[in-house]
Every structure is written in C-alpha cells, then in structure tokens.
C-alpha cells in the first residue's frame, strides 16, 4: 500500500496554513437550516463543514445528486467546502455493519454505498465511520464474528470510495462506546490487510485520549508516517470542545504540523457548552489562536 502524504488536503490546498483548514461538524448547529449553519460557521472563520447525513433528511438515502449539489452550492456561496461525511449510520434506523442477519448486512451495505456517492456529489473528500451502536455485537454474538463482519463491510465501503476518488476512514472509538476497534493500531491492521487506496483510519482526539496508551503527540509521530491515517477530529476526552477540558491541544497541533498534515481539522464536540453556537465559536477561537501562535508547543 503506498503511503499517503500528510492526509487529505482540503479545498484550500495542502500548501495553505493549517489555520485556514478548520471544519465544523454540522450537527453542532442542528436544528438550524443548512444555510444558517453555513452563514454562522463562515462568520466564525471555519472554511468547511463536515456533514452528518441525518441532519439533512430523516432518511438521507432518499437524497439525490441534485440535492447534494444544492447543499454544496449553499456551502460554496458562504465560502465553505463540504469536507466530508460522518455519523453515517444514525439514519435510517436498523442498520449494522456487524449484524449476523444477511438482510441487515445487505441493507447497510446499500446505505453506505449511497452515502459514498452522496459525499462525492457534495464535493466531499472523505467519510468517517464512527457509528458505534451500529458496529457493536448483537446479544450472544461472538466479538470475533462482529469484527469480521465489520471488517468486510469497511473493505466494501473503502472499495466503493476508491472508485469515487474518496477516502473511507475507520474511526477508532473508546471502550465506553464500542468493543469493535478501539485503537489506531487495530484500525491500521484492518487498513493494511485490505490494501485499498480508498480505505484509511483517522484520529479522534476524544476517543484516542481515553483509549490510547501513549500521549497523542507521540501517537501522531509514530503513526502518521505510515500513510494509514487520513483525517483528524478535535474534541476533548470530556466530550466538549477543544480547550474546554484538560487535554492540551498545542502539542497535538504541533505534531500534526511536524508530520506535514495537510487535511482538515474537524471540530466535533458532543457536549455543547454553553450551547451549540457558543461551543462552535469557542472551538474556532481556541484552535485558531493556537495555530496563529505557530502551532503552540504549549496549549
């Protein structure tokens, strides 16, 4: 597998400063209409939106290419790119990549294929597969069986993504969310075995901070040169925005800069303090401030 160089560059280009590649995970601003989300995010200095499909429609698989182009155009009108998709399997209900029932597996595979196509039509570059509830073993299902089925599903999705020029990222998640793939090493092993250009893993600082055994700057320095990681989501292990907890993000950003990371920095808090708009504003100001100080070896 050829090594990727620095991750996924955003629409601003790999040579632009990291401070211009901030993206906001758009569910932070739900239930605002998409156009209002774009206007507010742009006003805060974000240059991209990482979109959760369930925020666009109750059943995002019913969205067509014309709908996707419309969302992309709204974002572009506000100076934003749709960077990618995440939280893929929240809707419609009843999906699972690890379920032993063949019908559930087939339906989920169809949904993932549709979301890959939707992402491409929106101009996105990547998909992040978190969705812990939709990968966990069913009652009585052996963990090894659930992992094998999830691995096969990720390979199919990665193959589809590769045909569309996208990257499908397996997201390692903390133990309190899932038992299926918790560390970068576990996800990287799946990516290596699949050997698909369209399949990679990524770093979510909330889950990594709770699960990995080494400091995140060291983790970045160890894994990024492998080319197996393609994206970053920033959040504190307390589930709030960067800068609203004990994690020091200056050294993390410095490590990403040291490794030549050229992709988007996606803000993905889960616990919105004081609220969604306020949380989005805090995250942008905090991370932009660190980056303007040169990556801030402190933080």
1 burial via Cβ count (<10 Å: 0-12, 13-18, 19+) = middle
Among 63, 59, 151, 144, smallest CA distance to 105 is for 151
Residue 240 half-sphere exposure toward CB, CA atoms < 13 A: 15
Average pLDDT over residues 181-205: 98
**Mean pLDDT, the chain, integer:** 93
Among 296, 295, 232, smallest CA distance to 267 is for 232
What pLDDT does 217 receive? 98
Domains annotated for the chain, with CATH where assigned, are 18-292 (3.20.20.150)
Average pLDDT over residues 125-147: 98
What pLDDT does 226 receive? 98
For residue 17, pLDDT beyond 90: no
Structure tokens at 197: 């250009």
What pLDDT digit, counting tens, does each position of 23-64 carry?
999 999 999 999 999 999 999 999 999 999 999 999 999 999
SS3 239: coil
pTM of the complete model: 0.94
Among 99, 259, 257, 175, smallest CA distance to 186 is for 175
What pLDDT digit, counting tens, does each position of 68-107 carry?
999 999 999 999 999 999 999 999 999 999 999 999 999 9
Structure tokens at 281: 């504003």
- CA-to-CA distance for 160 and 7, rounded, in angstroms? 19
145, 97 Cβ separation under 8 angstroms: no
């Amino acid at each position: 597998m050829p090594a990727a160089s620095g991750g996924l560059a955003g629409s601003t280009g790999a040579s632009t400063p990291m401070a211009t590649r901030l993206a906001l995970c758009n569910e932070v601003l739900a239930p605002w209409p998409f156009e209002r989300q774009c206007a507010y995010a742009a006003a805060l200095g974000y240059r991209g939106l990482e979109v959760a499909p369930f925020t666009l429609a109750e059943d995002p698989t019913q969205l067509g290419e014309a709908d996707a182009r419309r969302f992309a155009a709204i974002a572009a009108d506000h100076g934003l790119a749709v960077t990618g998709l995440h939280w893929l399997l929240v809707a419609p209900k009843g999906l699972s990549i690890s379920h032993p029932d063949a019908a559930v597996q087939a339906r989920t595979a169809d949904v993932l294929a549709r979301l890959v196509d939707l992402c491409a039509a929106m101009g996105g570059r990547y998909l992040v597969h978190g969705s812990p509830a939709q990968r966990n073993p069913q009652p009585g299902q052996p963990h090894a069986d659930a992992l094998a089925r999830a691995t096969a599903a990720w390979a199919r999705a990665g193959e589809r993504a590769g045909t569309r020029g996208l990257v499908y990222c397996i997201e390692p998640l903390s133990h309190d969310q899932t038992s299926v793939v918790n560390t970068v090493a576990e996800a990287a092993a799946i990516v290596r075995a699949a050997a698909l250009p369209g399949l990679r893993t990524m770093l979510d600082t909330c889950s990594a901070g709770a699960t990995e055994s080494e400091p995140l700057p060291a983790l970045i320095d160890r894994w990024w040169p492998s080319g197996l990681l393609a994206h970053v989501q920033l959040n504190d292990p307390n589930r709030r925005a960067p800068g609203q907890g004990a994690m020091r993000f200056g050294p993390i950003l410095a490590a990403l800069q040291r490794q030549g990371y050229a992709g988007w920095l996606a803000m993905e808090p889960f616990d919105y303090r004081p609220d969604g708009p306020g949380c989005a504003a805090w995250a942008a100001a905090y991370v932009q401030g660190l980056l303007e100080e040169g990556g801030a070896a402190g933080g």
